[in-house]
Structure 1
Amino acid sequence: MIPYRDTIPLRYTPWITWGLILVNFLVFAYSEWLPLEAHNYFNYLHGLVPARYTFPEWAGKAGFPAGDYTPFVTSIFMHGSWLHIVTNMWMLWIFGDNVEDRMGGVRFLAFYLLCGLVAGGLHVYFNPQSLVPTLGASGALAGVMGAYFFLFPYARIVIWVFFLPLFVRVPAIAFLGVWVIIQFYKITTPAATGDHIADVAWWGHLGGFSAGMLLYRLFLLPERNEPEDSPFTRWDRRAE
């Protein structure tokens, strides 16, 4: 099943959400344009490699610049494949605009980056020996989803049942709750150990989501904070 859209109307143009999507696609296009060797070097230099920070002697011998923490930010804008970036940006398109609606552009950008930093830090903590460069906006996006979980719990997420002309509507609290359960399940499998088969930063996802839940209130604009019985927070009856 693939999320198609949500049912929360926008009040303001989500310039930052659109800008983040554009920047992510531009960075991905640039990396894909590079020759293979340069492409791999680009990913290792600007992606988040946990061992780079937990084993500084190895990092120095491997040629990583000392004291360079920019990958905690740059990795948020990098992706490993077309499927990876399209999936992430589609989710940001669905959830980001409404959260930006409540925070305003500048606060939303700061919130997005902070959640990404927390996600990256948690990934490094739980995968200290990993030599795999972590790429993707998933941690920052998870923070946006964490904020959405509390801001619009009864919005409806329209889901397309894959391979069938069937669309169903489910409460956001249920959709995102299932997503969290999947992340918890994944951290109990070998995919979370940081070894050679690890391809998804599950701990980073949970870290970003937790940061979003805990910090979102600090970024809300008071003048955009609707009362609890507003159509932006209550169950969207029109979607039934």
Structure 2
Amino acid sequence: MFPLSDSFKTGIFPVVTLGIILINVFVFWIMYMGVNAQPNYFIGHYGLIPRELFMPSEVLPFSEKMQSVIAHMFMHGGFMHIFGNMYFLYIFGDNVEERMGHFGFALMYLVFGLAAAGVQVFTDPASGIPMVGASGALAGVMGAYWVFFPRSHIRTLILFPFSVINIPAFIYLFLWLGLQFFGLLGGGSSIAFMAHIGGFLAGVLSALIYKSVGTAPRRRYQRY
């Protein structure tokens, strides 16, 4: 199910969403096409390795641990990895940014990423595999969208049979979350499904809190 667009149109220029995309693309270029392009080095040195977070400070300084906690959210393991993440962020990010405001969205994006990483580390603290990617933070954005815009429709490309259909956002994102649990049960994957689930739930919780204390702006949308 590949999303093509959503039916809720924003009235702002999504400067933070586009800024995050540009940062990720720039980091990707440095890793894979820059003068000193060494993707394996970058992933090994700046990726988040759960077991390293529990090393004594004299072995691995706190500053280096925090460096990987932030840096891993802006690194990707290949073209399809970054393309998929940034495309989904482009579809869902602008609406959540309008609802939360530019600063609030930027802050919560980082919170979603940290929450996602925390859940993954908590569930597999002995892992020595570097974690990279914006998927956890993106999952938080999708969780927030699920709460804020359940009546939106996602124009979706279905490959088998090949067709384009409109799926209510509430159902589309529920199915996406279900696929993460399905992938988790399958095991043996290099995908950090618990980070996706943790990020999504962090987004849902944050949006529910925001709705309970905030006011909803008038929305412009179109059905198709």
TM-score, length basis structure 1: 0.84
Deviations 1:187-236 (A, max 9, x none): 22323xxxxxx41111111110111011125557946x236xx656xxx6
1:111 to 2:102 alignment: no
Alignment equivalent of 2:206, drawn from 199, 215, 228: 215
Cα distance change of structure 1 residues 88 and 10 upon mapping to structure 2, 3 Å threshold: same
1:66 to 2:61 alignment: yes
Alignment equivalent of 1:180, drawn from 177, 193, 201: 177
Cα distance change of structure 1 residues 222 and 11 upon mapping to structure 2, 3 Å threshold: farther
Q: % of aligned pairs identical?
A: 36
Specify the alignment match of 2:149 in structure 1.
Answer: 152
Specify the alignment match of 1:194 in structure 2.
Answer: none
The code of the aligned residue for 1:209 comes to F
What CA distance in whole angstroms lies between the structure 1 residues aligned with 2:34 and 2:68?
19
For structure 1, the residue ranges without an aligned partner over 5 or more in a row are 192-197
Specify the alignment match of 2:27 in structure 1.
Answer: 27
Q: Is the 8 A contact 2:10 2:220 kept in 1?
A: no
Offset, 1:129: 1.6
Q: How many residue pairs were aligned?
A: 220
Specify the alignment match of 1:190 in structure 2.
Answer: 187
Q: Is the 8 A contact 2:119 2:198 kept in 1?
A: yes
Q: Is the 8 A contact 1:77 1:136 kept in 2?
A: yes
Deviations 1:124-159 (A, max 9, x none): 111112111111000000000000001100110001
Specify the alignment match of 1:7 in structure 2.
Answer: 7
Deviations 1:153-197 (A, max 9, x none): 011000112387631100001110001111112222323xxxxxx
Cα distance change of structure 1 residues 124 and 35 upon mapping to structure 2, 3 Å threshold: farther
CA RMSD of aligned residues (A): 2.4
Alignment equivalent of 2:72, drawn from 69, 72, 75: 75
What CA distance in whole angstroms lies between the structure 1 residues aligned with 2:11 and 2:89?
17
Deviations 1:42-88 (A, max 9, x none): 1112111111113x16x93xxxx421212111111000000000000
1:102 to 2:104 alignment: no
Q: Is the 8 A contact 1:111 1:216 kept in 2?
A: no
Q: Is the 8 A contact 1:108 1:219 kept in 2?
A: no
1:140 to 2:137 alignment: yes
For structure 2, the residue ranges without an aligned partner over 5 or more in a row are none
The code of the aligned residue for 2:104 comes to R
What CA distance in whole angstroms lies between the structure 1 residues aligned with 2:164 and 2:140?
26
Alignment equivalent of 2:127, drawn from 127, 130, 134: 130
Specify the alignment match of 1:48 in structure 2.
Answer: 48
What CA distance in whole angstroms lies between the structure 1 residues aligned with 2:220 and 2:17?
22
Specify the alignment match of 2:164 in structure 1.
Answer: 167
